[in-house]
């Protein structure tokens, strides 16, 4: 799943994002709207971590989301 697919499936993925980063609000998720840079910046701000750490977390989450997506696609 690439960043375009994440943007396209944002409403479905937002629950997973909120589960992973509980400090993000519904308003944050609306502003982020599937934009990777916005997600990284908001995580950085809410959690008080370095941008690189936020990028790493987002990359790990995206990798897991891609694995789940591929698994669901194959199961269909």
Question: Is residue 41 over pLDDT 80?
Answer: yes
The full set of domains in the chain, from first to last, is 3-75 (1.10.1470.10)
Please tell me the pTM assigned to this model.
0.82
Residue 39 has pLDDT above 90, yes or no: yes
**pLDDT band at 13, cuts 50/70/90?**
confident
Rg over alpha carbons for the chain, rounded to the nearest Å, is 12
DSSP of 1-48:
--HHHHHHTHHHHHHHHHHH-TT--HHHHHHHTT-HHHHHHHHHHHHT
């Amino acid at each position: 799943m690439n960043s375009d697919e994440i943007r396209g499936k944002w409403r479905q993925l937002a629950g997973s994002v909120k589960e992973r980063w509980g400090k993000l609000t519904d308003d944050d998720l609306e502003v982020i709207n599937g934009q990777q840079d916005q997600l990284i910046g908001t995580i950085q701000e809410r959690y008080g971590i370095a941008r690189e750490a936020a990028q790493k977390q987002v990359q790990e989450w995206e990798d897991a989301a891609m694995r789940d997506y591929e698994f669901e696609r194959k199961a269909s």
